[in-house]
Structure 1
Amino acid sequence: MKEQVAPAGSSAGEPPQHEAHLARLSNTPGRPSNLMGPAARLPLSRECKHYNSSYEMPDNLQKYWHQRYNLWEGYDDGIRMTDDAWFGVTAEPIAREVAEEMASKTKQRRHKPKVLIDLFAGAGGNTIQFALSGHWDRVIGIELSTPTLACAQHNAEIYGVSDSITWVHGNCFDFLNRLVNYPDTLDNSGGAFWDEGVDDIPLQRGFEIFASPPWGGVGYEGVEVFDMETMMEPYRLTEIAAACRPMAHALFLPRNGDLAQLASLVPDGHKTKLDVVQYCIQGASKGLVAYFPAQDDQDHGKA
């Protein structure tokens, strides 16, 4: 179900100055002193599990057993996840629809972004579908947890898209801080992150972002309207959105997320309407995605 959310009459305030904001989120004051490059292939650890029956699962995961083929159509091919990843992985049909929607939106622009960055890659559910779409020259998946990233790399091999994905083991905001403010601190040897020429064009024309942040906090199913400033942990909605500007970005959020908060993120004076889509499986909403256009789309029409 798709909705369009008009800009709010009064915004939540201007985002912090971009460089300082990203530096704070990335815990990196000033210019990074080291190069950040692609992750090595990580070995699977004992935390990278493939369950063969619900009886093998912890009690709090057993309800997900019957959803395994919704989460991964190729589950029986040896998909691996950490126990925590069962809570956060996007169901494969939804991940595929999100990839198609993002591809459709970029096709409407004069300058199609060539690189898709998945800020919270998790076990790879969304990242893999972005790669399978074939729409972007390169997909970058960023994950902080070592065992979770090992699962994502393994799962990408099962789906046959390892060569289309560059994995990054680290803080996604550290990566963004480097991309926006210090691109020479990213090791792009051999075109690992982007092909020649992409770094010569504005960020919003070369890159776009997908983010499915951890929701945390109060159980979102227990509240009528989910406050994405106070209930989302460890990052607030405004922090994530500000970090993604000026690039187009799609945010996967709780199905009962506060639409007024989303509307407040559209800058004052802009006529752009925000597309918000509820994604469902068998009639049950699993979350909403808010699609924010690139900054120059908002300012001057399609970029």
Structure 2
Amino acid sequence: MTRRPRHSMHKYFHQKYDLWSKYDQGIRMDRESWYSCTPEKIAKQISERCDHFYNKDNRKSNENKTKSVIIDAYCGTGSNAIQFAITHFDYVIAIDINEKKIAMAQWNAQVYGVSDKIEFICGDIFEVMHILQMRFRQSNNEKIQAIYMSPPWGGPAYIDQPVYQIDQIPGILGLMQKCRQLTANIVVYLPRNITIRGTVDLGSSSTEECYCIEYFTPQKWKVKAIAVYFFGDRQLDCSKSEGNENSPHLTSITNEIQKYILKKAVDVQVNKKAQFGYSK
């Protein structure tokens, strides 16, 4: 059973059912997880987005029964990995460098009944990504549909900063390059005060890349966090559109995304001015 946090953490304890709907069934967390795990409704929203954006077409055309895989690169105590396992992905690879957090995540996955759909790996994220790159290069029956990252933000102190810079997250740009060797479909969960320039810097430096920024506002008019969805260079969409050679994939992709986001903004309110564009 998770211990009640100390006095300075009481505000997080009062949000326990926002973090985990099954908190009373034995959810396990350490102190850091009280302020670092993704609230369940937001985790669910992100998992549904990932399934729709990255996995829907695979499910429709999957004649060879290729297993769809999503990677949670900083799984912590499992809040996102569990929601990914609940959606239509065949299985989740959940990675964390902390053995205790991995053990807690495994337990929490059992509480939610999805432990059989999650492969937990304890290790350095760069080393694990290198191993996974070799593994999936040789695999014909499983495919990485997306990679999700919620890297450490440096604790609650980020809230007091007027602006949060992307280089405050150690190694994030190098990790993005590493992830792109596995897939162009990447989601990054970031602080609400991150600079827009910082989100653009996460994009590929070698090609134009379509991205979408989603704002999560579980409390009205108060943004809690953002998620940046990267889609790579969707050249296949260009042949279906006319006009400037750089505009078709932005138009075709973002119209679908925007329509879907506004339609599905029920469990978690979403800023209807979600931003779309290219990173270069």
**For this structure pair, what is the TM-score category when the shorter chain's length is used for normalisation?**
0.7 to 0.9
Q: Which amino acid aligns with 2:175?
A: I
| Pair 1:197–1:129, CA change in 2 (3 A) | same
Residue 6 of structure 2: aligned partner: 58
Q: Deviations over 1:38-86 (max 9, x none)?
A: xxxxxxxxxxx523xxxx4212322211100000011011111111111
Residue 32 of structure 2: aligned partner: 84
Q: SS of the counterpart of 1:281? A: coil
Contact 2:209/2:230, CA 8 A, preserved across alignment = no
User: Structure 1-normalised TM-score?
Assistant: 0.68
Note if 1:137 corresponds to 2:90. yes
| Pair 1:142–1:267, CA change in 2 (3 A) | closer
1:37-56 matches, within 5 Å, as 49-51=1-3, 56=4
Residue 255 of structure 2: aligned partner: none
**Which structure 1 residue ranges, 5 or more long, are not aligned?**
1-48, 187-193, 200-204
| Pair 1:72–1:217, CA change in 2 (3 A) | closer
| Pair 1:237–1:145, CA change in 2 (3 A) | closer
| Alpha-carbon separation, structure 2, partners of 1:217 and 1:129 | 23
Contact 1:270/1:299, CA 8 A, preserved across alignment = no
1:264-279 matches, within 5 Å, as 264-267=201-204, 272-279=209-216
From 110, 113, 119, the equivalent of 2:73 is: 119
1:67-82 matches, within 5 Å, as 67-82=15-30
Residue 183 of structure 1: aligned partner: 135
Higher RCO (CA-CA < 8 Å; seq separation 6+):
1
From 128, 133, 138, the equivalent of 2:82 is: 128
From 104, 113, 123, the equivalent of 1:170 is: 123
What count of residue pairs does the alignment treat as equivalent? Answer: 230
Give 1:166 shift.
Answer: 0.7
Residue 240 of structure 1: aligned partner: 175
Residue 260 of structure 1: aligned partner: 197
Residue 32 of structure 1: aligned partner: none
| Pair 1:108–1:131, CA change in 2 (3 A) | closer
| Alpha-carbon separation, structure 1, partners of 2:123 and 2:211 | 30
Q: Which amino acid aligns with 1:103?
A: D
Q: SS of the counterpart of 1:220? A: helix
Give 1:89 shift.
Answer: 0.4
Overall identity of the aligned pairs, in %: 30
| Alpha-carbon separation, structure 2, partners of 1:258 and 1:236 | 17
| Pair 1:162–1:70, CA change in 2 (3 A) | same
Give 1:266 shift.
Answer: 3.5
Contact 2:91/2:119, CA 8 A, preserved across alignment = yes
| Alpha-carbon separation, structure 1, partners of 2:206 and 2:125 | 30
Q: Deviations over 1:137-179 (max 9, x none)?
A: 1111112111111110110000000111111111222111112
Alpha carbon RMSD of aligned pairs, Å?
Answer: 2.8
Q: Which amino acid aligns with 2:117?
A: S
- Bigger share in helix: 2
Q: SS of the counterpart of 2:132? A: helix
Residue 285 of structure 1: aligned partner: 223
Residue 224 of structure 1: aligned partner: 162
Q: SS of the counterpart of 1:225? A: coil
| Alpha-carbon separation, structure 2, partners of 1:58 and 1:171 | 30
Q: Which amino acid aligns with 1:128?
A: I
Contact 1:141/1:165, CA 8 A, preserved across alignment = yes
Q: SS of the counterpart of 1:95? A: helix
